[in-house]
Structure 1
Amino acid sequence: MNLTLEILKAILLGIVQGITEWLPISSTGHMILVDEFIKMQFPAEFVDLFLVVVQFGSILAVVLLYFHKLNPFSRRKSATEKANTFELWSKVLVACVPAGIIGVLFNDTIKELFFNSTVVAITLIVYGIGFILIENQKKVSVTNTLNAITYKEALLIGVFQVLALIPGTSRSGATILGGIMLGLSRTVASEFTFFVAIPVMFGASLLDIVKYSGSFTFAQVLVLLVGMVTAFLVSVVAIRALMKYIRKHDFKIFGYYRIALGVLVLLYFAFIR
C-alpha cells in the first residue's frame, strides 16, 4: 500500500466532504460516488468508518464560525441572550431526537439496503425536483430569526432530517427544505441546519468508532486525521460562501445540479461501468 497515495485520496475525500456537507447536494452520496472511482486501499469496514468520521472535521468548522452564537456562557452576552442560547440548544436537541432514534435502531440496516449508486442517483433527482418546486412557490418566510423557531418546528425539522439517513438525500438539503416549507427564511433554515448537525454528526462519528471492530493502524489514524483537517478547512470556506450566496439567491441551482448529477450517475452505472 502506498501511504502517500492514500493520504492524497483522503485529502480529495475531505475536500468533497467539506463542500458537499453544507451545500444541499448530499455529502454521503458524493463520498460514495468518489470512493467508487478512487478506491481507498483499506479494509471495507475502515473505509465505511472513514466516510462517516471525516464529517467530524465539518462539525468543527460550524463550531468555529458560530462559536459566539452557540456559546451560552459568553461574557459578552446579556442574561437574556444567554437564556436564548440555552433555548436554542434545547430546540437543536429536540430536532435531533427523530434521526437519533431511527439511526441507532436501523443504522446497519439502512447502510446495507441503501448505500449504493442507484439509491444515491434516485434521491439526488427526487430532492432536486423538490427544491425547484418549493422555490417556485415563492412562499413568504414567517420565521426570520433563530429565536423565533418553535419547538414544534424544531421537531418537524428533525423529522425531515430522518429522510437524510438514506444516502443521496442530503442532511442539510432535507432540513433546509423542511425549514423553508415550514416558513423559515433561507438564512434561518440554513443556520439551524448547521447547528443540528453538531450533535447528529458527532454522535454518528462516535457510534461508528465504538462499533469498529478492527484495531487502528498508524496509517489509518493518519488518513483519518488528514481527511478531517481537510474537511474542516474546506467547510469553513463552503459555509461562508453558502451564507453569502443565499442572501441574494434561492436554492434552485442546487436542484438543477442534483438532477444533472443523478442522471449522470444512472447512465454511468447502467452503460459504462
Structure 2
Amino acid sequence: MHQIWVAVIQGIIEGLTEFLPVSSTGHLILSGNLMGFNGEKADTFEVVIQLGAILAIIVLYWKRYLTLLRIGRRSQTGRDDHGLKLGHIIVACLPAMVMGLALHKIIKTYLFSPYTVLVGLVIGGVFMILAERRIKRTTAETVDSLTYKQAFQIGLFQCLALWPGFSRSGATIAGGLLIGASYRAATNFSFLIAVPMMVAASGYDMLKSYKMLAASDIVFFGVGFVVAFIVALLAVAGFLKLLERMKLSSFAYYRFALAIVYGIYLFAR
C-alpha cells in the first residue's frame, strides 16, 4: 500500500509540474528524497510517469501535431495553412538533444541530487524574472509567427534545463520572451517541443533502465502513469489560462520559497 501512495504522490507532482516553469525533475528528486524513494527503480519510475505527461500533451495538441506531419499541404490560396512547420520543432529540439546525449552520464552522475536541484531552482527563477523584465518588442504574437531563427534560439535556451531544477518550460518560455515571442506563443511552442524532447529523453533512459521493470511492479508503475496523465491534462489547460493573469515571476518566487524551505530541511536534519 505504501508503494501505491508513493506512485500517486509522484504522479501528481509529475503531472502538476512537468509543463509549469518550476522543474518536474527537481520536484521528483526532492519528493523522492523525502519519501526515501531513490535509486534505479525510482529513476525508471520517473521515466514511466513522464510518458504519462507526454500523452496528455498529445491528447491536447493532436490536431496541431497532425498538421505538422502533413508536410507540404497547401491551402486554396496556395500558401501553407499554418506558419509553424515540422522544421521549427526539429531545429528547436536539436541543441538540447545533442548536448543531452553528450553529457548524459555527467548529468546523471553529478547533478541529480537535492543540493544541485536547489541551485537550479534559484538560478532558474532569477533567469525567469530577468527575462520577464527585459521583454523585447513582440515580433511573434502567435506560435505560427515564429521564425526558424527564433525556434533555434529557444532551443538553445532549452539546453539550460539539462541542469535539474532549472525547468525546461521555464527556460523555453523565458527564452522565448527574450527573443521577441509573446507569452502565449512561447508557452504554446514550449508545449509543442515538449513531446519530441521528452520522448527522446525518456526513450534513451528507458533503454538503459528497462531491466528494472518487473511484473510485480505493473500496478505501481501503472498508477503513477495514469495519475500523471490525468493531472498533466488538467494542469496544461489551466496553465494557459493562468498565464493571462500571472507572470513568470510568480513561479520564480515559488521556486525561491521551495529552495529556502527545503534547504533549511537539508541542513537541519
Q: 2:112 aligns with which of 109, 112, 115?
A: 115
Aligned to 2:16: 19
SS in 2 for 1:142: coil
Q: Percent identity?
A: 36
Partner in structure 2 of residue 46 of structure 1? 41
Paired residues of 2:68 and 2:86 also in contact (CA < 8 A):
no
Q: Structure 2 stretches of 5 or more lacking a match?
A: none
TM-fit CA distance, 1:246:
1.0
1:186 matched to 2:193? The reply is no
Question: Structure 1 residues 147, 212: closer, same or farther in 2, change over 3 A?
Answer: same
Q: 1:30 aligns with which of 27, 30, 41?
A: 27
CA-based RMSD: 2.2
Q: Return the letter of the residue paired with 1:205.
A: S
Q: Residue in 2 aligned with 1:157? A: 154
- CA distance change for structure 1 residues 121 and 69 in 2, over 3 Å: closer, same or farther? same
Distance 1:107 1:36 in 2: 21
TM-score, normalising length: structure 1: 0.90
Amino acid of the structure 2 residue aligned with 1:121: L
| Structure-2 separation of matches of 1:177 and 1:32 | 23
Report how far residue 69 of structure 1 moved. 2.1
State whether residues 72 and 83 of structure 1, in contact with CA within 8 Å, keep that contact through their aligned partners in structure 2.
no
C-alpha separation in 1, matches of 2:110 and 2:118:
14
1:64 is aligned to: 59
Q: 1:233 aligns with which of 230, 234, 237?
A: 230
Amino acid in the other structure paired with 1:63: I
- Is the Cα–Cα contact under 8 Å of residues 84 and 146 in structure 2 kept in the other structure? no
Query: Residue 128 of structure 1: CA displacement?
Result: 1.2
Give TM-score, length-normalised by structure 2. 0.91
Partners of 1:220 and 1:205 in 2: how far apart?
A: 18
Q: Structure 2 vs 1, CA of residues 157 and 74 (structure 1 numbering), >3 Å: closer, same or farther?
A: closer
Gaps of 5+ in 1: none
Relative to 1, partners in 2 of residues 1:141 and 1:126: Cα closer, same or farther, differing over 3 Å?
same
For residues 188 and 170 of structure 1, the distance between their equivalents in structure 2, rounded to whole angstroms, comes to 18
**Equivalences, count:** 265
